[in-house]
Amino acid sequence: MSNLKLELKEKIIEQLNLEDVSVDEIADNDPLFGDGLGLDSIDALELIVMLDKDYGIKLADPKEGRKIFESIDTMAAYISANKA
């Protein structure tokens, strides 16, 4: 699980071009959207593609993403439970 979390942080930084953010700066329970990492709705769509491409999980409704992408913790838990 902790490997998955590290992997997710690396992928988020790369996929979303967060050049000035390092893996250590993202705590597992930090909110990814809003006040935390400051991601927005377009980032959410990027993360949905990442779930599909890298973990074989398809979301049909972008609204589903909101809960899943709350933090690295929630993302990792969702991926572990639903990985194809």
Point out which residues bind another protein (CB under 8 A). Answer: 15-20, 38, 41-42, 45-46, 48-49, 52-53, 61-62
**C-beta closer to another protein: residue 4 or 18:** 18
Number of residues assigned to the chain: 84
**C-beta closer to another protein: residue 1 or 38:** 38
Q: What is the DSSP string of 40-53?
A: -HHHHHHHHHHHHH
Least distance in angstroms from the C-beta of 43 to another protein? 9
Nearest to 13 by CA among 43, 58, 48: 43
